[in-house]
Amino acid sequence: MPFIRNIKLSAKFALFGSIITVLLFLATLVSYHGMSGTTERFDRFTSKYQALALVCSEMHTQGLQAEQACRNVILSPSDEKALSNYKTASEKFLEMQKEAIVIAKGIDDYEKQLQNIPALWQENGAVKDEIIKLAKDGMQAEAVEILIK
């Protein structure tokens, strides 16, 4: 390092100060890039994953509501409010499922999994419709047996 020995002290300070300034600038750029990546990931999380979780939570709520309304029909077959609650919850469940598919576009396998739900819901709905029909015909014991299976 004979070059450094031959320069003045003030030039040495200027050289090392410049190197440190460049390194600090590079560190700032790397930090900024990392922060912007974090911001993008957070935005994606809130706009996709969190929104999907909220819609799926609402689907779960409507599914529970439909099940409770079905049990209420068994307990009181003449209660039209219970039947109305069942139909409303079922419709809202399917609406939320459609909304979930829209939100899930571009999120790995979620969209495919959500596409399968209406068929399963319809299959389950057929069983619930049979339970409701039996309950309305006065065969609560048979309706309970199907519900338990």
How many Å separate Cα 107 from the centre of its chain?
A: 10
Q: Residue 30 has what pLDDT? A: 92
Give every residue of the chain whose pLDDT is below 50, as ranges: none
| Structure confidence by residue, pLDDT tens digits, 50-81 | 989 999 999 999 999 999 999 998 888 888 99
Residue found under tokens 């109305």: 84
